[in-house]
A = this chain, B = another copy of it.
């Protein structure tokens, strides 16, 4: 199994980080197999979505409805709304798996692999990559 760890600086604002270039680079020359992308954090998630056409703002608006950024949460440390950050991974799973064909991660034209970090309090994130090859 081939593995890598990405260190991502997501800053102190909520952020969507395009991981696609780094993941494509990792997979290149690895042949055929499955690549798993996982975020070992309790307040972040991963999505496959289009970037650059405004859907970023639309996603935050929908998340603000689902997980209001206020003090209603039982889990209540950190910035207002941080309790909702802890619920986010239930709806936006922090792990996903994609096929790789001939070293190319299989994504549609408009799909990017995106780290969703609503968290104002944790500016450094890790992302784990694990590639299981056809040949072991």
Contacts and interface: CB of A to CB of B under 8 A. Distances in A.
Contacts of A110: 41-42
Interface residues of A, number: 61
A13 interface: no
Interface string A37-48: 011111000011
Interface in A54-82: 54-55, 57-59, 61-62, 65-67, 72-76
Given A34-B130, A40-B108, A110-B42, A94 B48 contact: yes
A96 to B, nearest CB: 6
Q: Do most interface residues of chain A lie in helix, strand or loop, or is the interface mixed?
A: mixed
B74 A54 contact: yes
Contact of A98 (B1, B38, B57): B38
A90 interface: yes
Contact of A57 (B42, B50, B74): B74
A73 B97 contact: no
